[in-house]
């Protein structure tokens, strides 16, 4: 049976997973749930990458980190995720200069249950595709972008779409924050 990718208009699946949130001893791990962003009344951007200790992934993770304040300004929680364990995430953060100072959690979907429920596992290696979800404060998926394993995503586009969704208005092609929206 083939899973279909959870898409726009669907409720984002419930989850409770360990994540790496710090490099400080005894503060490395924290349990994150699907309720966290809803309880805070926040939007959620969850982005997935295939494997830790690879080449394209850290460029994306570092870019999300550089733009972290932009997401905070938009009342949006950012969570990075892969099917690697929390221990692999921690080792990678300690090992990679661009990942040591991450301001958002690295979720460990070690059982692959969330990735499977989302329908984003690559068939052969069972690693997650490069998928980005924007989820509204009610837990409804409002945007999904899926990249092949070899192509990194555009974080500015994630922010642009988030801005457009948060206007709750009609936004034309290539619209950016500050421009006029459309009236029906």
Which residues are designated catalytic? 57
Query: Which neighbouring-strand residues pair with 73?
Result: none
Selection from 122, 123, 100, 109 nearest residue 81 by Cα? 109
Could you identify the residue written with the tokens 């837990």?
A: 139
C-alpha dihedral, 126 to 97 to 90 to 123, nearest 10°:
0
Q: What are phi and psi of 114, to 5 degrees?
A: -70, -45
- The one-character DSSP state at 98 is G
Query: Which neighbouring-strand residues pair with 107?
Result: 19, 81
Note whether 93 and 20 are within 8 A (CB).
yes
What order of strands is seen across the sheet that includes strand 130-135? Answer: 29-33, 16-20, 106-108, 76-82, 43-48, 130-135, 141-147
Q: Please give the Cα distance from 101 to 141 (Å, whole number).
A: 29
Here the tokens at position 147 are: 């990249």
């Amino acid at each position: 049976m083939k899973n279909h990718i959870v898409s726009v208009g669907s409720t984002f699946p419930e989850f409770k997973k360990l994540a790496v949130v710090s490099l400080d001893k005894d503060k490395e791990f924290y349990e994150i749930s699907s309720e966290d962003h809803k309880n805070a009344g926040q939007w959620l951007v969850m982005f997935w990458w295939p494997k830790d200790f690879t080449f394209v992934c850290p460029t994306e993770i570092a870019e999300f980190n550089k733009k972290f304040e932009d997401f905070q300004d938009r009342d949006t929680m950012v969570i990075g995720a892969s099917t690697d364990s929390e221990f692999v995430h921690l080792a990678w953060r300690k090992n990679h200069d661009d990942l040591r100072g991450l301001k958002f959690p690295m979720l460990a979907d070690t059982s692959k249950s969330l990735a499977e429920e989302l329908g984003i596992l690559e068939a052969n290696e069972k690693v997650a595709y490069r998928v980005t979800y924007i989820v509204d404060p009610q837990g409804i998926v409002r945007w999904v972008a899926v990249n092949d394993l070899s192509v990194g995503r555009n974080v500015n586009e994630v922010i642009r779409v988030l801005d457009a969704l948060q206007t709750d208005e009609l936004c034309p092609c290539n619209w950016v924050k500050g421009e006029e929206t459309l009236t029906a």
